[in-house]
A and B are shown apart, each in its own frame.
Chain A
C-alpha cells in the first residue's frame, strides 16, 4: 500500500540557517508515528514543512489520497490564546474553515461536524464556556476537537502534553490511542517524552545532528539514541 505521506531527503532552511537536513520517513494510513529529538533538532520545522507552511530547500514531501489542508493540526499554544475572548464553540467551529466556500459562512453540516468532534472529545458540556477559563487539559481537548473537524485520516500534534500535569497527560495520550485504534486515524506527534512515545506509538523518527533514526519502536529501543535520550529507565 502507498504511504499517505512520504518525505524523502528533505532539508529545511530558516533565515539562512539549516534547521533540519536529510529527513526521510513514510507514514501509512492508521499508523502512529512519534517524532523525538533535542531542542533545535528541527522537529517543529519538519512539521511546518509537512503541513505546507514551509517549502523544503531540497528533497520532496508528497501526499497520497489526502491534501495538506485535510490534516488535523494541533499547534503549540500561543501567548495570544491565553486570554483570548472566544467560546469553545467558536473555536471548535473554526476547525471547519478548510471547508468554507464563498461567502465563507459555516453550513449546517459543518456545525454538526463540530458538535460531533466535541462529543467525541467529551467536551460537549464545555460548548458555551469561555476558552480562557478552562484548565490546560480542557483547552487541549477543545483544540483537539478543532483538529478533528479538519481531519478524517491524519492528525499532527506539536507537543500536545506541554504544560499538562501527569493525569491530564495520560488522559490525552489515551484519547489519541483511541482515535488511532478505533477510527484508524494516522497520528504524527512531536514529543518531548521518549517513554510515552515508545509506549503509545508504533514508529519513531528521532532527529539528531549525528544522523536520524527512523523505524519501529522495538528497533528504536535497542539503539544507543534511546538509551542516551530515554534517560535512567531505559
Chain B
C-alpha cells in the first residue's frame, strides 16, 4: 500500500488529478446533500449527460471542451430547475428526455467525426491522465468559488432545503438559492467530468449525502461527514485505479458504494442498540 502511495505521488499528472479531484469531491458532496434532500438528484445525472453532448461537439469542432461545455451546462441547469419546479410537467420524465437526447446528439456527432476513440472513452468513464494545466486552473477556481459561496450562504441553503415555503414567507429568496445550487452543481459537474466520466459523475453527488445520512441526523453532521467520506473515497478510488489499471471514475464509484454499505450496516446496528437501551 505504501509503495503504491509513494509511486502515486511521484507523478506530476497524478498530483494534478488528485488536487482537482479532492476539490471536486468536496464540492459535489456539499451540494449533493441539498440536492438529495430536495429530491433533485436526477438533475445531476441529467446535467452530466448534457455535458457529455457538449464535450463531444467541442471535440468534433476542435474547441476547448471546458470553454464550450461550461456555458451549455449552466444554461441547461437553469432550464432543468425550471422544469422541476413546474408542477404541470412530470419533471423526472422531462429530465430523462433531455439527458438521453443530449447523449444521442453527442454519440451521433462522435460517430460522424472522430469515432469512439480513447479520448471519447475517457470522457465517458473518466481518466486520471492528461489533466492539463489550464484544466487545473479552471477547476481550482471553480471549486474555490463553489466552496466560498456554499460557506457564506450555508444558513440560507439549510433554510431553503428544509422548508421552502417558510423560507419564502420569511423573505428569503428561495428561487434564487435553488438556482444558485443548480448553477454551482452544473459548474462542478462539467469540471469533474474529465476525471470521473460523464456516465459516473452524478454518483459523486448522490453517494456521499446518502452515506452520511445513514449515521448522522444533524444537517451540519451530514454535510461534514459527506465531505469527508467523499474525499476519502476519491483518494482510495484513485489509488485502486492506479494499482489495478481500472478507469478512475468506476473505481471511485466502487469505493463509494463500499463505504455506503459499511455506513448502512453501521447505521442499522446503531439504531438497534438505541432501541435496546
**Residues of A bordering B, CB below 8 Å:** 15, 51-53, 68-69, 71, 73, 75, 78, 80-81, 84-87, 90-91, 93-95, 97-98, 100, 103-106, 130-133, 146, 150
Contact between chains at B169 and A80 (CB < 8 Å): no
Indicate if B1 sits at the interface (CB-CB under 8 A). no
Shortest CB-to-CB span from B195 to chain A, Å, is: 28
Contact between chains at B39 and A80 (CB < 8 Å): yes
Shortest CB-to-CB span from B30 to chain A, Å, is: 14
**CB < 8 Å: which of A84, A87, A98 contacts B171?**
A98
**CB < 8 Å: which of B152, B163, B213 contacts A104?**
B152
Docked CA distance A53–B167 (Å): 11
Instruction: State the 7 A-B residue pairs at the shortest beta-carbon distance, nearest first.
Output: A130-B217, A69-B171, A98-B170, A87-B218, A73-B169, A94-B159, A86-B219
CB neighbours (8 Å) of A133 from chain B are 217
CB neighbours (8 Å) of A131 from chain B are 217
Contact between chains at A130 and B218 (CB < 8 Å): yes
Known: A75-B169, A84-B219, A85-B221. 19 other contacts (CB 8 A): A53-B165, A68-B169, A69-B169, A73-B169, A78-B165, A80-B37, A80-B162, A85-B213, A85-B217, A86-B162, A86-B217, A90-B220, A95-B170, A97-B155, A98-B172, A104-B155, A104-B156, A130-B218, A146-B166
A-B contact count (CB 8 A): 87
**CB < 8 Å: which of A15, A93, A97 contacts B156?**
A97
Contact between chains at B37 and A84 (CB < 8 Å): yes
Shortest CB-to-CB span from B160 to chain A, Å, is: 9
Return the chain B residue nearest A156 by Cβ.
B169
Q: Majority SS of interface residues in chain B?
A: helix
Given A94-B159, A106-B155, A75:B165 Cβ within 8 A: yes
8 A Cβ contacts from B241-257 to A? none
Contact between chains at A86 and B152 (CB < 8 Å): no
CB neighbours (8 Å) of A95 from chain B are 170
Contact between chains at A81 and B162 (CB < 8 Å): yes
Docked CA distance A199–B267 (Å): 46
CB neighbours (8 Å) of B155 from chain A are 93-94, 97, 100, 104-106
Docked CA distance A180–B39 (Å): 37
